[in-house]
Structure 1
Amino acid sequence: MTATVSFTIDSPLGPRTATVAYERKGAGEPLLLLHGIGHHLQAWHPVIDILAAEHDVIAIDLPGFGTSAPLPEGVPYDLATVAPALGRSALPSASSAHTSRATPSAGCSPSKSGRMNLVRSVTALSPAGFWTEAERRYAFAALLTMRAGARALPVPAVQRLSRNAAGRAALTGTIYARPSRRSPEAVVAETLALRHATGFENTLAAGGSVRFTDDVPGLPVTIAWGTRDRLLLRRQGVRAKHTVPGARLVRLPGCGHVPMSDDPALVSRVVLDTARSASPVTV
C-alpha cells in the first residue's frame, strides 16, 4: 500500500516542504529502492517480495515521478538537494540503510550518498555518469523520444498496444530486454507515469552533470550492467570499474537497462549479496 511522507528541504529561497510517496514491506535492516528517470516505484515490484524476506524494503517515487508531488518551486532537482531529502523522508526511524538504484540520471550516486553517511552499501544498476559525451547525447535523445511518445499516444492506443508482445516492445523495448514479461497493466501504468512525470525535464537536465567519483572508501559498492542494455551501453560498466576500482562489477546476462523484470532472481541476488557485505550495525 502506498503512503506519503512530508519533509523540509533547505533551498536558496529558504525552507520548503516536499512530499514523496512510498511503499514499505518486510522487516530487518532498511533497504531503499530508487527508480530511474521517468519511471515509478512499481519498477521494483518484480523483486520486492524477495528482498522483503530479509529487509525492511522502502521503495520511493522520487519527487516529480509516480504519485509523488514535484519539488517546490525554486528547489533544484540535483543530487545535493535530493540526497539529503531522501535521508530525511524515507528513513525517519532507521539508523542505517542500504541503497539500491536503477537509474539514468535520477536518485543518489554512491559518492553523494556515502559522503553524507546515508547508506552502508550501494547497488547501482546501469548508473549514469560513465558515458562519453556522444553516449550521453544518445541516451538523452532516447529518453526524450520515449517521453514524447508517451505524451503523444492517446490512452486507448497505449492500452491496445500493451495487449500484445509487439506493442509492449514498441512502448518499453528501450529499457527492457524482455518487454513481453511485463503485464499489459504494468506497461500502461509506466507509460502514463512517464507521460505525467513533472520532474522529468529538470531531472534530465541535472543528470547531464552527473559524474561518479571514487570517494566512498570502505563502502561496499556493486555496479551491475545488463548485457542487453540499449540505453547505457555495457562498455560503460568497464569505465565504472576503472573509476571505482573497489566496486564489484557484475554482468546481468540477457537483461536490459531496467533489469528487475528481465531476471528478478538474478537482480535480487545481486542486491542482497551487496547488502550482506556491509559492516554490521553497531548501536
Structure 2
Amino acid sequence: MHGIGHHWQVWTPVLDLLAERFDVIAVDLPGFGASPPLPPGLPYNAETLAYAVEAFWGRLGVSEPHVAGSSLGGYLALDMASRGVVLSATALSPAGFWSRSELFYGRSVLRLLRAGAMATAPELVGSAVGRAVTGRLLVSKPSRVSDRELVSAAGALRESVGFDDTLDSFLWLAPPAPPKVPITVAWGEHDRLLPRRQAVRAGRWAQQRVLLLKGCGHLPMSDDPELVARVITDGTRELSPAAK
C-alpha cells in the first residue's frame, strides 16, 4: 500500500523480488492512482481507506494476507494488524507517530509537492531542478529513479482526487491500538518527510526495536529494493532481524 498522493507503481522496484516467494498484489488506494474515488459522503481517512482495501482483497478471495505499506500505507498496515485481519504487517516510515510541529511540517511539504506537481510542466519534473527538489525529499538516491518514474509519480500526485481530504484527516490521526499479529516497523535513515526521530515513538508503541534502513529515504523501495524485500520477507516469518 502506497502513501498519500502516490500510486501502486512506487512498489515496482520490489515487486519481482517479492514475487519469487509470494503472490503479490499492489493496490491504488481509493481516490489515488487508477482507483475510483470513495462514494459520495464517505470521508477519506485511515479507517475508510483500510476497509476499502480489505473489501478489495475479499472480492479476490484473499483471506488474512501479509501486508506491507509505506507512509500512509504503513499506517494502514499497522491498523490492520491492530484488528487482527492480517497474518503480519510491515510498515515503512508509517504515518501517525509525529509531534504537532512535525505534522505541520509534513503537511506543508506535501502541499508544496502537490502544488508543484499541478503547476509544473511534465517535462520539467525530470529535469535537474525537479529531481533535486522532489527527489531528495522522498528518496536518498534520486539518481536511481528514472525520469519516467518521476513524471509518472508527479502525474499521480496531480490527479489524486482524495489528496486534500486525506491530508486533512491527518490532523486526527493517532497511533492504532496495539497489534494482534507480528509486525515490523522500519524507517529510512535519511527520511526527510517523516524524520527518523519519529521511529522512537513508533518503537515505544510497538514495544520493539524499529529497524533502520541504511542509506534510504522516505521511499526505500527506490533506494534499496533488495533490503526492503528482505525486511518484508523476514517479517512474514515473525519479527525481522536488524537490517544490515
TM norm structure 2? 0.91
Q: Distance in 2 between matches of 1:102 and 1:87?
A: 17
Per-residue CA deviations over 1:187-246 (Å, capped at 9, x if unaligned) read 1100111111111001111122221145224x111110011000111011011111110x
**1:95 maps to amino acid:** S
- 1:184 counterpart = 2:147: yes
**Of 275, 280, 283, which residue of structure 1 is paired with 2:236?**
275
User: CA, structure 1 residues 40+107, in 2 after alignment: closer, same or farther (shift >3 Å)?
Assistant: farther
- Mapping for residues 95-110 of structure 1, pairs under 5 Å: 95-104=63-72, 108-110=76-78
Q: Distance in 1 between matches of 2:117 and 2:130?
A: 13
Q: Distance in 2 between matches of 1:243 and 1:117?
A: 16
- 1:238 counterpart = 2:200: yes
- 1:210 counterpart = 2:173: yes
- Name the structure 1 match of 2:62: 94
**Of 208, 218, 221, which residue of structure 2 is paired with 1:257?**
218
- Name the structure 1 match of 2:117: 150
**2:104 maps to amino acid:** R
- Name the structure 2 match of 1:75: 42
- Name the structure 2 match of 1:21: none
Q: Distance in 2 between matches of 1:84 and 1:171?
A: 31
Contact 1:35 1:41 in 2 (8 A): yes
Higher relative contact order at CA 8 Å, sep ≥6: structure 1 or structure 2? 2
- Name the structure 2 match of 1:9: none
Give the structure with the larger strand fraction: 1
Give the structure with the larger helix fraction: 2
Q: Distance in 2 between matches of 1:194 and 1:237?
A: 26
**Of 170, 183, 200, which residue of structure 2 is paired with 1:221?**
183
- Name the structure 2 match of 1:195: 158
- 1:136 counterpart = 2:84: no
Greater than 3 Å deviation, 4+ residue runs: 104-107
Structure having the higher Rg: 1
Contact 2:84 2:179 in 1 (8 A): no
- Mapping for residues 111-130 of structure 1, pairs under 5 Å: 112-130=79-97
**2:178 maps to amino acid:** D
Identity of aligned residues (%): 43
- Give the root-mean-square deviation of aligned CA atoms: 1.8
Per-residue CA deviations over 1:31-69 (Å, capped at 9, x if unaligned) read xxx000111100000000000111111100111111111
Contact 1:105 1:208 in 2 (8 A): no
Contact 2:5 2:157 in 1 (8 A): yes
**Number of residue pairs matched?**
238
SS of 1:156 mapped into structure 2: helix
Per-residue CA deviations over 1:148-195 (Å, capped at 9, x if unaligned) read 00001122333xxx155x542223221111111101111110011111
Q: Which runs of 5+ in 2 are unaligned?
A: 240-244
Per-residue CA deviations over 1:112-141 (Å, capped at 9, x if unaligned) read 313443211111100111111000000000
